[in-house]
């Protein structure tokens, strides 16, 4: 009777005391386990000068070939590692596999096999979740430089929309090969093919790619005036036709060094109306532009992720030589450099910096079609989305502070037998950005008002990463003119 009353008293009146005792025992147990693990690691470090990778166990891959994963890991069975470099090696494996863009989640761990001698044996265990990387889609895409220009300046006209069919696959045969097919009509009729196979050589460090593009449209931006594009349209006649054919090689001597070589032939022509309105469109009033493009790129990449990096850095040098065959109509040599740095300041706070520059080396005046710098494609300064800036030299600097809001993983079901399950990985972040840029126009065109001066802006916004392959951005930006706007952007690893 006394024991029952005592128990009732403790449960009802002193429940906090019981909770405290339980909390104390739990924490004491965790501390003892931590001490034991620390002691075991210290003992292992004392016993093992180096370790041997006895086996590599990979689980979770549904389509990607095992030999592709092992090749990207850059490690092999019977490899001897210094004990102090073990965890650094595991971290590098995780970074290398994540950077392929094939996997939504990568976890790397070890299992000790034996410690009977100074050379201890370990098994590396890699657990993967493959991303859904097959994207057949219906094209409904704006023709303008970005969504903001189409919505505001072109009054979101459906006449400036492209539509058709597109197929993008980041892992066609399970060998990290990429395919893009596009058939579109609307504002611009375009047919495009591209295929890249990364393991062309016996050592699996040389890849090859090829592609072609054919496009034509009845409206063309034939010049820029006051940093805005000026268009001419004629419904009765095609104004611009583009043809591109290219082949290339990609050499990866290591997981962080990448060389790219590309040879391209371009055959383009414009109408008499465009040549009349801008004699410098192709130069000297020419209607036809035929030239070869030879390019080389060197990339040193230690970022853990290309779209949403959290640590590491990337350095890039690119060279582009354009030359007409048997004439001087096109003669251009451009160099481009990029530096990207990222560092995790706190568990959810990531700082990153981007510095990009380009230079036109030759002194001859370039045609309008080859003299485009800021405002085209993804080469933009936040807050200046409505402007284009032409010139010969450019410097752009970004400083970013990103706060990770949440990550969401969801696996669904199989649609195609040879494809992995449909999976979605969403990574949401808040962003603060400060940017500055300078474009040099040595010909000092009076209508190019934003050239030959410093530009700067501040941005607040959000970013959403999708399957480690695509990124959507929504920004609120203000530039040096105190112009405020909401802007939408998208980027892809393709």
Check pLDDT > 50 for residue 41.
Answer: no
Share of the chain above pLDDT 70, in %: 87
Judge whether residue 6 has pLDDT over 60: no
Grade residue 114 by pLDDT with cuts at 50, 70 and 90. Answer: low
What pLDDT, on a 0 to 100 scale, did the predictor assign at position 30? 58
Residue 27 predicted with pLDDT over 70? no
**CB count in 10 Å sphere of residue 138:** 9
CA-nearest of 222, 281, 227, 283 to 452 is 227
Q: Confidence band (pLDDT; 50, 70, 90) for 127?
A: very high
For 369-420, the pLDDT digits (tens) are: 998 889 998 889 999 999 999 999 999 999 999 999 999 888 776 676 666 7
Between 76 and 382, residue with greater pLDDT: 382
Which of the four pLDDT bands, split at 50, 70 and 90, describes residue 133?
confident
Kindly state the average pLDDT of the residues 7-28.
58
Question: What is the predicted pLDDT for the residue at 424?
Answer: 77
Lowest-confidence region among 233-237, 380-384, 424-428: 424-428
Burial of 403 (0-12, 13-18, 19+ CB in 10 A): middle
Asked whether residue 444 carries a pLDDT value surpassing 70, the answer given is yes
The pLDDT confidence band at residue 2, using thresholds 50, 70 and 90, is: very low
The pLDDT assigned to 47 comes to: 60
Average pLDDT over residues 465-485: 90
CA distance 269 to 285: 12
State mean pLDDT over 440-455: 88
pLDDT of residue 3: 46
Mean predicted confidence (pLDDT) in 289-297: 96
Q: Is the pLDDT of residue 40 over 50?
A: no
pLDDT above 90 as % of the chain: 53
pLDDT of residue 14: 57
- Tell me: pLDDT of 12 over 50: no
Evaluate if residue 423 carries a pLDDT over 70: yes
Mean pLDDT in residue range 91-109? 87
**Above 90 in pLDDT, residue 34?**
no
Q: What is the mean pLDDT of residues 336-344?
A: 97
Rounded mean pLDDT of the chain? 86
Q: What is the pLDDT of residue 280?
A: 92
Residues 158-174: pLDDT tens digits? 889 999 999 888 888 99
Question: Which pLDDT score is estimated for 118?
Answer: 47
Task: Say yes or no to pLDDT of 62 above 60.
Answer: yes
**Predicted pLDDT of residue 202:** 83
Is residue 441's pLDDT more than 70? yes
Task: Indicate the range of 1-15, 226-240, 295-309 predicted with least confidence.
Answer: 1-15
């Amino acid at each position: 009777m006394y024991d029952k009353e005592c128990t009732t008293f403790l449960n009802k009146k002193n429940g906090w005391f019981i909770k405290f005792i339980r909390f104390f025992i739990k924490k004491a147990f965790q501390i003892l386990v931590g001490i034991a693990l620390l002691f075991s690691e210290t003992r292992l470090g004392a016993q093992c000068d180096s370790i041997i990778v006895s086996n590599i166990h990979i689980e979770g891959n549904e389509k990607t070939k095992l030999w592709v994963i092992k090749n990207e890991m850059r490690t092999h069975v019977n490899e001897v590692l210094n004990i102090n470099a073990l965890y650094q090696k595991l971290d590098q494996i995780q970074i290398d596999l994540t950077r392929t863009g094939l996997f939504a989640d990568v976890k790397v761990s070890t299992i000790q096999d034996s410690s009977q001698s100074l050379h201890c044996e370990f098994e590396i265990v890699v657990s993967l979740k493959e991303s859904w990387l097959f994207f057949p889609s219906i094209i409904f895409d704006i023709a303008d430089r970005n969504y903001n220009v189409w919505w505001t300046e072109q009054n979101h006209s459906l006449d400036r929309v492209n539509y058709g069919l597109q197929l993008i696959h980041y892992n066609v045969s399970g060998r990290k090969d990429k395919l893009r097919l596009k058939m579109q009509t609307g504002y611009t009729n375009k047919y495009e093919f591209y295929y890249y196979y990364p393991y062309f050589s016996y050592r699996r460090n040389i890849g090859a790619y090829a592609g072609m593009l054919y496009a034509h449209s009845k409206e063309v931006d034939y010049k820029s005036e006051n940093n805005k594009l000026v268009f001419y349209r004629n419904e009765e006649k095609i104004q611009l036709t583009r043809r591109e054919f290219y082949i290339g090689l990609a050499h990866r001597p290591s997981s962080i060094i990448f060389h790219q070589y590309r040879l391209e032939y371009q055959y383009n022509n414009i109408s008499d109306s465009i040549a009349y309105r801008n004699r410098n469109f192709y130069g000297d009033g020419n209607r036809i532009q035929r030239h070869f493009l030879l390019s080389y790129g060197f990339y040193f990449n230690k970022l853990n992720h290309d779209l949403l990096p959290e640590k590491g850095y990337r350095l890039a040098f690119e060279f582009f030589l354009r030359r007409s065959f048997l004439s001087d109509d096109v003669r251009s040599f451009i160099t481009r450099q990029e530096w990207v740095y990222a560092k995790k300041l706190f568990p959810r706070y990531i700082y990153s910096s981007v510095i990009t520059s380009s230079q036109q080396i030759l002194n001859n005046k370039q045609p309008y079609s080859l003299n485009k710098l800021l405002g085209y494609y993804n080469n933009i300064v936040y807050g200046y989305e409505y402007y284009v800036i032409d010139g010969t030299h450019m410097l752009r600097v970004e400083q970013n502070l990103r706060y990770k809001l949440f990550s969401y993983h969801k696996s669904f079901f199989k649609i195609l037998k040879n494809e992995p399950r449909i999976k979605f990985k969403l990574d949401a972040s808040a962003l603060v950005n400060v940017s500055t840029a300078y474009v040099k126009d040595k010909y000092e065109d009076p209508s190019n008002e934003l050239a030959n001066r410093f530009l700067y802006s501040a941005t607040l916004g959000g970013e959403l990463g999708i399957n480690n392959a695509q990124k959507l951005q929504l920004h609120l930006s203000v530039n040096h003119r105190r112009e405020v706007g909401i802007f939408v952007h998208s980027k892809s690893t393709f």
